[in-house]
Amino acid sequence: MILSCPNCSKKNRLNAAKLTAAVRCGACKTPLTPIARPIEADPALFDEVVAHAVLPVLVDFWASWCGPCRMAAPEVAKTAEHMAGRALVLKVDTEKYPELAARYRVEGIPNFVVLKAGRVVAQHAGVVPAARMKEWLA
């Protein structure tokens, strides 16, 4: 997967299976892991993370026009920050990637799916607080 450095914006290639290891930016040496923010996922990145991540993955299916999705965004960001090193948070834009939403039968957004070892262990439609998302990932 490709991850932009939060400090210098350089793109760094990371192995999705090794996201629990200490990884630094190749240019400025800023720590890239643990990942403490939601990652915008396209189908290739999504499939790589789901197939190789050893951590639980929370997927936020959303769209930019969706008011409840915008309300949920800060809670999703809090979850990513609080669960850094213990879980990954992906955001999937259902307008850009409807095939990913269809794969998980997402009919209403925001919709949250928790995956462990590539399998769905929880799914919920509607806005929830970060505390609830953290419970799903525990």
pLDDT at 93: 98
3-state secondary structure the chain: CEEECCCCCCEEECCHHHCCCCCECCCCCCECCCCCCCEECCHHHHHHHHHHCCCCEEEEEECCCCHHHHHHHHHHHHHHHHCCCCCEEEEEECCCCHHHHHHCCCCCCCEEEEEECCEEEEEEECCCCHHHHHHHHC
Domain with residue 104: its CATH number is: 3.40.30.10
pLDDT of the residue at 18: 76
Q: For residue 58, what are the β-bridge partners?
A: 89, 114
Is there a domain that residue 123 lies in? Answer: yes
Q: What is the pLDDT of residue 133?
A: 98
How many domains does the chain divide into? Answer: 1
Residue closest to 99 by CA, chosen among 49, 56, 44: 44
Identify whether 5 is part of a domain.
no
Domain assignment present for 48: yes
Domain residues for the domain of 129 are 35-137
pLDDT at 135: 97
Whether 11 is covered by a domain: the verdict is no
The pLDDT of residue 19 is: 77
Catalytic residues: 66, 69
Of the candidates 96, 102, 113, which has an alpha carbon nearest to the alpha carbon of residue 60? Answer: 113
Does any domain span residue 2? no
Flag whether 18 is in a domain. Answer: no
Of residues 82, 76, 138, the one with CA closest to residue 110: 76
Q: Is 104 domain-assigned?
A: yes
Question: What whole-number distance in Å separates Cα of residue 94 and Cα of residue 87?
Answer: 22
- The whole-model pTM stands at 0.90
> Going residue by residue through the chain (138 aa), what tens digit of pLDDT does each one get?
888 898 999 999 988 777 778 899 999 999 998 899 999 999 999 999 999 988 999 999 999 999 999 999 999 999 999 999 999 999 999 999 999 999 999 999 999 999 999 999 999 999 999 999 999 998
85 in any annotated domain: yes
